[in-house]
Amino acid sequence: MSAPGIRTSVFAYVTESPDYRAILAVFAGTFFAELTPAEVTARLAESGTALEEVTVTQRLEQLREWGNLEVSASVGQVGTVEDYYRRRNRYLITRVGQEVHDVVEGVLAQVDDVRDVSLGRLEQLRAGLETLTVLDAATAPPDRLAEAVRAVFDAHVAFSAEITQFFAAINQWQSRFDLDEDEFAFFSEVLVGYVGERLETLRRAARPIAGLLAEVAPVVGTIVERAADGLAARVAAAGLSSVRVRREPGAAEADWENLASWFVSAPGRPSRVQTLERDAVDAVRTLTQNLTRLSRTGTAGSSRRVDFLRLALFFARSDAARAHELASAAFGMFGARHLGGAGGDDTDPVSSATSWWDAPVATVPVSLRERGDTTSRGRTSRVQDRTQERRHLLAKRAEAEKRAAAARAELLEAGAGGFSARLSEPALRELQRVLTRAVADLGAGTASSGSITLDGVRCEVRREPGSTTSVPTHAGALRIEGLVMTVEPAP
């Protein structure tokens, strides 16, 4: 389900008639100019798309309903009612319509392209981090801090997008079996060596960046607080909660945590760069194996693509009887004629007149299938003693119940104290479990409160606009807007 306020209908035209893309292309190149249906029809004809004006009018109205276009509110000076309606019937593209058109056309234009990876962005990222280490986060001017943060995250956003798309393409290519001669040469002569060089350069560049991120980590909170700049910060300072402004990357500590996860490893969690490197090596290894298979005859002519095309040609030139023979030989698709023995009344659930197509699958004993008889061989296996396993499972369950009871006791103690103490991870999970169900009981209607009692814990939430309930946890503060929460023992 989409979030409130987000209109997904602006993407509906992509799966509809190609006429919609052609019409939006006319508006996208006009810099928000106002066009009538007649003008749009003329421009479509100039680009090679012949549509009647009635059809164009219908398409324009549909795009307006989806939110890609809007009707102009400016009619200027008019002398007659006819002029008024003629000028009123002018369309222009909306801001979201322009952005959606750019995104869709960009994706469709580059879906088969191989995008290069510019590792020079890592040098920009490194330079930005070095600038931050030189600046004193507590005394430096906020505008200089904001500029340094933008330099770091602009380079990181561009680099992460490029490298993720490139390695995703490698993972898709590793299962290709339909290479033609040019693609074969690209993979064998260019791509494998290019990936190796890029991985080595990436490995060398990631080490100093990880060191700089570790140096900046202690003052990230100060940087985020003092580097608040731009429209989003001014809207927040003015208290305009109803206005949504997209924040720049780096304006929250979570952005810095995401940046660190790309280059800094943690116990049990490799960095994103290490993960991409490992996946790329595995993909290139698979590519190399496929290239070795394809090059056994010295050319790309041994590709399965050629074999399938030759088989399709055989099917195209065969009659019905020969096509069945080809299918049987190539794919094992034999006819539905079978031989078998007569089943007894107690083992055959259907009559012998039932078609093999409708009859259930026959049950064939293992001895009959493998040896051709039903004679029992060997000794009967002893029943295994599962006492130790059962004792271990019971102890494990008791320990889990003990930990859950301790977490609930911690939650009740924190609730009695107004949630001033920091919750542990198990206690946070218990709070999320009861809070989710209490909010579900509150629902989206006009009910003023909702409650739930679960495993001795009663959680109640009440609507109170403007209030904020904050629960400190090991991972940060859990903030609940517009609700008052009460957690107490069940009566």
Q: What is the mean pLDDT of residues 353-369?
A: 73
Angle of helix 387-416 versus helix 425-442 axis, rounded to 10: 70
Per DSSP, the chain holds a count of helices (H) and strands (E) of 18, 5
State what percent of residues in the chain have pLDDT above 90.
3
pLDDT at 187: 62
State the angle between helix axes of 18-28 and 37-46 in degrees (0 to 180), rounded to the nearest 10. Answer: 100
Residue 433: which of 455, 418, 449, 450 has the closest Cα?
455
- Sign of the dihedral through C-alpha 302, 308, 313, 319: positive
pTM of the predicted model, to two decimals?
Answer: 0.42
Closest listed residue to residue 184, CA positions, set 194, 195, 173: 173
User: What pLDDT, on the 0 to 100 scale, is given for residue 398?
Assistant: 92
pLDDT for 426 beyond 80: yes
Buried b (16+ CB within 10 A) or exposed e, 202-217: beebbeebbebbeebe
pLDDT at position 235 over 50: no
Lowest mean pLDDT among 50-64, 237-251, 311-325, 342-356: 237-251
